[in-house]
Structure 1
Amino acid sequence: MSTKDKGQDPENQLLLLRDFAEQHGTLYKVFTDEASGGKASRANFQAFLLEAYQKRFDLVVFWRLDRFSREGALPTLKYLKELKEHGVDFKSYTEPYLNSLGPWGDVIVSMLATIAAQDLIKISENTKAALARKKKEGVVLGRAAVPVATQDKIKELRASGRSVRAIAAELNISKSAVGKYVIAISGSAEKQ
């Protein structure tokens, strides 16, 4: 649903959606959220999914796909596929092609899956290109190395019986960094 603070009145959409839904059967319930559609943790969205999976209704209608979810192509596709798997069809009010009813329903879901896969490929390509550019500019990628003096201090504190957590707190570094050197210390001690 839209929000009033952005100049859109969700009541306009709800009125039309109620009429639209009633053309397809008895209206079961209206689910709306105030939170952004980009978050899966929306309380009413989670309640909607639960009731859909419990087969409390067999059709969901939404204003537009981006009003249903803005989490991205893959999560949205996942929701639509899960609805279908649980016997719940979907229909968009403003996008007549987004309709799992009828002969083209599976085609639409397949097309959305292809678009979602292409989105992932684009994201991966963009990430790789950005990393390659950073490397070419001389930026060192990855976590900064722990200085040798700090490595020696980790060994000293560990040998005195200090825990990984205590060492990390004292040296103001992450527990995983300490753990890396503790494992390396343990491994080298076992070889001797």
Structure 2
Amino acid sequence: MPSSLPEIDLESGSETSKRAALYLRISKADGQQTEENQRRELREFLQKEGYELAGEYVDHESGRKGRKEREAFDEMFEAAENREFDVLVFWSLDRFSREGIRKTISYLQQLEALGVGFRSYTEPYLNTENELVSHILLAVMSYFAEYEAKKISRRTKAGLERAREEGKQIGRPSKFDEHEEDLKAMLEDDLSKAEMKRRTGLAYNTVKKYIRRIEDES
């Protein structure tokens, strides 16, 4: 993937390095990855690419937690809003966020809106240093996020329809279903509606409605 041209200091004619921030998230489930391993390799990457290190943000929380639940993630966004760095570098997209593709894309779009690019150390194609590539990349990722959401919706609807056809209960059982057998037994014992109300805890009018329904169905 082509990279953007380096910035030039017009007064001196020399190249100026971009400010990059590192976001590290350490997964407790991954015993092979440590904070120092990530930090060392990412710092070496910045040095190789000619970036100036502008900050490091480290979380030990689950990537499924949102911005406000990951302290370093939230601080990183506040720094981005204050334009304290130009590019965010992370180990991989799943280290950046695991909240689902739509939420992840939303975070990346927020960075873009703030004028901050991003790069994934282990996924070279996730590189928005080139403005044209940035727009194309985010557009493609947004498309697939929307496609995935629609696919999940279709699968959910198909599953519910199949369950209905098989006569399975969808969602929580109703109060009628919960009390039906007890009310039938009380009817056979010729108990009064007032006694049924006392035993079931239902309102008197509800007992009358349920009894009427049982009688209509019998």
Do these two structures clear the TM 0.5 threshold for a shared fold by scoring above it? yes
* 1:126 aligned residue: 155
Larger Rg: 2
- Give the deviation of 1:134 after TM superposition: 1.2
Q: Give the conservation status (yes or no) of the 8 Å contact 1:62–1:93.
A: yes
Query: Could you tell which deviates more after superposition, 103-112 or 8-17?
Result: 8-17
Q: Report the TM-score when normalising by structure 1.
A: 0.72
Distance 1:118 1:44 in 2: 31
The Cα shift of 1:45 comes to 0.8
Q: 1:14 to 1:111 in 2, by over 3 A?
A: same
Instruction: Kindly provide the CA deviation profile for residues 123-175 of structure 1, in whole angstroms up to 9, marking residues without a partner as x.
Output: 101111110121012123244333495243679xxxxxxxxxxxxxxxxxxxx
- Return the structure number with greater relative CO, CA threshold 8 A, min gap 6: 2
Offset from partner CA, 1:79-115 (integer Å, 9 cap, x none): 0000010111111111111111113111111111011
| CA RMSD of superposed structures (Å) | 2.2
Report the secondary structure of 1:124's partner residue. helix
Looking at structure 2, the residues matched to 69 and 104 of structure 1 have their Cα atoms a distance apart, in angstroms, of 21
**Contact 1:3-1:10 within 8 A present in 2 as well:** no
Gaps of 5+ in 2: 1-24, 180-196, 208-218
Matched positions, count: 155
Gaps of 5+ in 1: 156-192
Q: Does the 8 A contact of 2:102 with 2:146 survive in 1? A: yes
Find the aligned partners of 2:113 and 2:61 in 1 and give their Cα distance: 27
- Give the whole-Å Cα distance in 2 for the aligned partners of 1:43 and 1:125: 35
Residue 89 of structure 1 corresponds to 117
SS at match of 2:128: coil
TM-score, structure 2 normalization: 0.64
Equivalent residue number for residue 20 of structure 1: 45
Q: Which moved more, 1:52-61 or 1:18-27?
A: 18-27
**Greater strand content:** 2
How much has 1:46 moved relative to structure 2? 1.2
The answer on whether the counterparts of 2:26 and 2:59 sit within 8 Å (CA) in structure 1 is no
Give the helix-richer structure, 1 or 2: 1
